[in-house]
Structure 1
Amino acid sequence: MSAMMLLLLLCLSLGTISVVHCGDPTIFFDWNVSYGTLSPLGTPQQVILINGQFPGPNINSTTNNNVVVNVFNNLDDPFLLTWSGIQQRKNSWQDGTLGTMCPIPPGKNFTYQFQVKDQIGSFIYYPSTAMHRAGGAFGGLRINSRNLIPVPYDTPEDDYTVLIGDWYKKSHTDLKKQLDGGRSMARPDGVLINGKDAKGDGKDEPLFTMKAGKTYKFRICNVGLKSSLNFRIQEHWMTLVEMEGSHTVQNTYQSLDVHLGQCMAVLVTADKDPKDYYIVASTRFTKTVLTGKGILRYEGGKGPADPELPEAPEGWAWSLNQFRSFRWNLTASAARPNPQGSYHYGKINITRTLKLVNAATQVDGKLRYSINGVSHVDPETPLKLAEYYGVADKVFKADTIKDDPPADVDTKAIIQPNVVNQTHRDFVEIIFENHEKSLQTWHVSGYAVFAVGIEPGLWTPEKRSTYNLLDAVSRHTIQVYPKSWAAIMTAFDNPGMWNIRSEHPERRYLGQQLYVTVPNIARSTRDEYNMPDSALLCGIVKDMPKPPPPYSIA
């Protein structure tokens, strides 16, 4: 069937007309997810491939494109992909988490349909089921600005995706068994750059090639499992231009700390001697430093890369100061023809403060991670489906945590679905407080959030005086340093069931996540789409008759 015919059928289908916007271009992908054997760190192991590729294919889209991805699951496990940082306006049905969707059964397929509405920037996708992210099936997702919207820098010669991440020699199934047995995954075995680690023996093929005198864009994303990474390019400076969907003030850096799940875009000019140079990613805040390398080659250049690698900074105070240097570019146009800084978040009254404290605890002798004393577990029936079918009371109890954590949050936890009710359009302050000695990274799905502050110690209302209320970067992840807190602000203007989770897959899998349910008060598709006809069904709703659409067509 031709792409045009498929688009026509999509536009004629009542179940998908709200998801595919027929006035905007549509891009199509057919992805086969399967197992394969590769040796990323020199030892053969099972990995997860998409169309035979590791990492998976890059999605290259443009603002307001409709994205249609038909995923065939050839694994022996149920499987889902989540689109990290894509705001999915009105459409948590396609978010790709177990709280919103049934997983794709082995041997079956599911077609994701979503629009990258009013967004630009650098993002990633990865598996949200089991510990599949430790096997692969992750990749880059870029959203280019439309031609009529000016970009605050000259068009680069080329645009490269750089996926950095720590890696284990154990398979994802073995790692899952460790976690199920109550043990941590311990430290990783190495660091990969686009699925490889250069040996430095002169036989490595280049990951990227540059022409002398030209400027290139590198989109750097941490797709790893446990470690923050410092990224640098031998002898080259990097100009930061974008971060998770926002143009930034164009400061220049020798190296960048990129935490789990985070993406940054930099410009690099080929202004050095024409030869090879190392791209380097090394672990931060670890006793043993693991380093991954890749080759950057000048066209026509002669000579190997210098074996002496550039040093990484030390200590988390340096990283905190770098975070403070990140600023929103208030004069740049965004995905729409208006300055991205025209939204004055610092002048909006806070209607709710939600304080979230992470903890590592034991439940029945096994390791669990919790938020405010609740360690999340996914019920057999996705939370969103339970709400839609009117059986939520049989699946979960909302507001299992309070806005302030209990006194024993660090020592006790209960295992159950962790769901928070949130009023539509409230402007909310979320405090992440980390009492542990390890750095945490958090992701908020469905929204862009303003990362207004990070400080050591415990948070109190007086700490608001330290917030950046002018030009904090609007993004979707935030790191929290050891024994520190971080604050974000966002308007919950996107109805649906949205996931707030640790970007550490081990912690997410063992309970460090929750869902925020934002009701569609107007009961209109203007605010939220009805369940698509293509939605997979499972749990107690599998054989139930589909209810009539609760939301009227806007």
Structure 2
Amino acid sequence: MAMTKSIRGGGGGGGGASTVLVLLLMLAASAPAARAEDPYVFFEWHVTYGTKTLVGVPQKVILINGEFPGPRINCSSNNNIVVNVFNQLDQPLLFTWHGMQQRKNSWQDGMPGTNCPVAPGTNYTFKWQAKDQIGSFFYFPSVGMQRAAGGYGLISVVSRLLIPVPFDPPADDLQVLIGDWYTKDHAVMARLLDEGRSFGRPAGVLINGRGGKEAADPPLFTFEAGKTYRLRICNVGIKSTLNFRIQGHDMKLVEMDGSHTVQDMYDSLDVHVGHCLSVLVDADQKPGDYYVVASTRFISDKSSVSAVIRYAGSNTPPAPNVPEPPAGWAWSLNQWRSFRWNLTASAARPNPQGSYHYGQINITRTIKLLVTRGHLEGKLKYGFNGVSHVDADTPLKLLEYFNVTDPVFKYNQMADVPPAVMGPLQVVPNVITAEFRTFIEVVFENPEKSMDSVHIDGYAFFAVGMGPGKWSPELRKTYNLLDAVSRHSIQVYPRSWSAVMLTFDNAGMWNVRSNVWERYYTGEQFYISVTSPARSLRDEYNMPDTSLRCGRVVGLPMPPSYLPA
């Protein structure tokens, strides 16, 4: 399934230097087999604005090479991905590779706390590796509210040919990018939040960049009777959980956030913001047209989108009885409890490497993160444990690497547990430290009336437990300590908690954030700095010479390099 795209030379600011870099990488990829270097996959992206009518209103969206959604990144496990991004917007730009662990390489994470943005009229080449990963992921622009304007696309990572997959090859491997959609300009949405206001509820739902009546014609996919298809479904929206279902067809769940799952059947699936999953669908019904539906959950103003799957040669329209979504979040919680990791599947394993017995590892630290909401100068702020994150004038990873003293940036201003009495909300760059290779329990507690979904960059974690109310240590008795799915995002239901376990064995600085972008933008995020005492290339890469510099590190000499183990 890997698809290689050749780089075109020239075009855009800095194109000559970028082309030289790409040629050097291509030469490295064609070096003698004795080096055993993993294959390279190249992309060139020109990021522009364009006008699309998506839910009945013409509006400005972010296009990549004129496409919305953006180009799909197809690759195999361990491929090196090189993406040359030309920023033709009027704002700085970054892309983050949501769910890709990027072992030892937070330099390419694409978050404001780790990377300087790509200035308008310039280009930058991201290079990262799909190391020991398989599954379904996506990318999106991480600066401001740009994510609300598009610029997202699928990342699909297939197993190497020698590694068996626990299902037969499908007739086709199809992307289904679903998400809520707003008609406000992303800059207006950011300004509303900056003024302490909300941008309201979504105007509709999109599926593969189509909404409203246009979503049903032409058909989304054409199936051939008797064949089986893989659908990679990602919720790329910014606020709403969506329920996904196909009229007259069951779905066999086979993968979730990069892990093979026990293959149970579902007639509908809740897909939370920032989550991805794969299902197999058998074209085993009477030839005709069938609705594919994604509809919002857990909000009062319901929205949905209906697309069509057409059996080849059909001229029979879909039946009018569009499948109804389930009701309530208890149903959704019970569905989550049915998900299990497929422990017998051969595949690249998310970290901790080869750990099939995570329930037997001693927890060395518990971090309990209470979602905190408050107002500062009349403006709504979110955070964790009384601390609301704000970006520094220089990416935090660069301040750390260059050992620059910053009066605002201090480690561990957020406690591991929320204070018994919550004082005034602190608004600071929020960075905590974690000891390298320790096994840690993290509990997210959401006292709000609305859904939350949280993500940890650079890692996969075991989603071991969740439930209503407040978390307490005795609730560990309810944890799944055998076959919880290893994944990168987890939902936290209203007035509920969710618990995960993970080993901090990926050195770097990594963003922990709400996938609900209004919460993220107003401070519900922080960074974890994981450093290796050995300062060895075995544990973390050096800062690339090509990395962008900005703020306080401009002109500083490069620090001493990490050394080989």
TM-score range, shorter chain: over 0.9
**CA displacement 1:479-535 (0-9 Å, x = unmatched):** 011111100000000110011000011111110000000012111001000000111
Decide which of 136, 139, 155 is 2:153's aligned counterpart: 139
Aligned residue type for 1:503? N
Percent identical pairs in the alignment equals: 60
SS at match of 1:422: strand
The answer as to 2:281 corresponding to 1:265 is no
| Structure 2 letter corresponding to 1:112 | F
Distance in structure 2 (CA, Å) of the matches to 1:475 and 1:249:
14
Could you tell me which residue of structure 1 aligns to residue 221 of structure 2?
Answer: 208
**Alpha-carbon displacement from aligned partner over 1:129-177 (angstroms, at most 9, x marks no partner):** 0100010000100100111100000000000010000000111111111
Q: Give the drift of 1:412.
A: 3.5
Query: Which digits, 9 at most, give the CA deviation of each residue in 1:54-83, with x for residues without a partner?
Result: 111110010010000001111111110100
SS of equivalent residue, structure 1 residue 199: helix
Q: Which amino acid aligns with 2:481?
A: L
The aligned counterpart of 2:10 is none
**Counterpart position of 1:235:** 248
CA pair 193-338 structure 1, distance change in 2 beyond 3 A: closer
Partner of 1:246 in structure 2?
259
Would you say the 8 A contact 2:204–2:212 is kept in 1?
Answer: no
Consecutive unaligned residues in structure 1, runs of 5 or more = none
Match in the other structure for 1:537:
549
CA displacement at 1:337 relative to structure 2: 13
SS in 2 for 1:368: strand
2:347 corresponds in structure 1 to 334
The whole-number CA distance in structure 2 between the counterparts of 1:7 and 1:349 is 45
- 1:448 equivalent to 2:460? Answer yes
Report matched runs for 1:183-202 at 5 Å: 183-199=197-213
Instruction: Give the counterpart letter for 1:376 in structure 2.
Output: H
Q: Which residue of 2 aligns with 1:512?
A: 524
What corresponds to 2:124 in structure 1?
110
What is the alpha-carbon distance in structure 2 between the residues aligned to residue 22 and residue 37 of structure 1? 45
- The answer on 1:497 being equivalent to 2:509 is yes
Shift in alpha-carbon separation, 1:333–1:72, aligned structure 2, 3 A: same
8 Å CA contact 1:498, 1:515 repeated in 2: yes
Match of 1:68 in 2: 82
**Alignment deviations for residues 342-371 of structure 1 (CA, whole Å, 9 cap, x no partner):** 521100000000000112211111111111
**1:429 CA displacement:** 0.1
Verify the 8 A CA contact 2:87 2:120 in the aligned structure 1.
Answer: yes
Residue 9 of structure 1 is matched in structure 2 by 24
User: What amino acid maps onto 1:31 in structure 2?
Assistant: W
Which one is further off, 356-365 or 254-263?
356-365
In structure 1, what is the Cα distance between the partners aligned to 2:408 and 2:427? 14
Question: SS of the counterpart of 2:411?
Answer: coil
Q: CA RMSD in A?
A: 2.1
Partner of 1:298: 311
Which blocks of at least 5 consecutive residues in structure 2 are unaligned? 8-18
Is the contact made by 2:54 and 2:212 (CA closer than 8 Å) also made in structure 1?
Answer: no
CA distance in 1, matches of 2:320, 2:214: 8
How far residue 8 of structure 1 moved from its aligned partner, in angstroms, is 6.2
Which has the larger displacement, 210-219 or 292-301?
Answer: 292-301
Contact 2:340 2:484 in 1 (8 A): yes
Report if aligned partners of 1:383, 1:395 keep a CA contact under 8 Å in 2: no
Does 2:564 match 1:553?
Answer: yes
Q: Give the corresponding residue for 2:45.
A: 31
Q: Tell me, what secondary structure is at the counterpart of 1:322?
A: helix
**Is contact 2:466–2:498 with CA below 8 Å preserved after alignment?**
yes
Length, aligned pairs only: 545
- CA deviations on 1:98-130 (whole Å, 9 max, x unpaired) are 111001111111100011011000001011101
Report how far residue 262 of structure 1 moved. 0.1
Aligned residue identity for 2:564: I
Deviation at 1:302, TM superposition (A): 1.8
**In the alignment, residue 282 of structure 1 is paired with which amino acid?**
S
Match of 2:357 in 1: 344
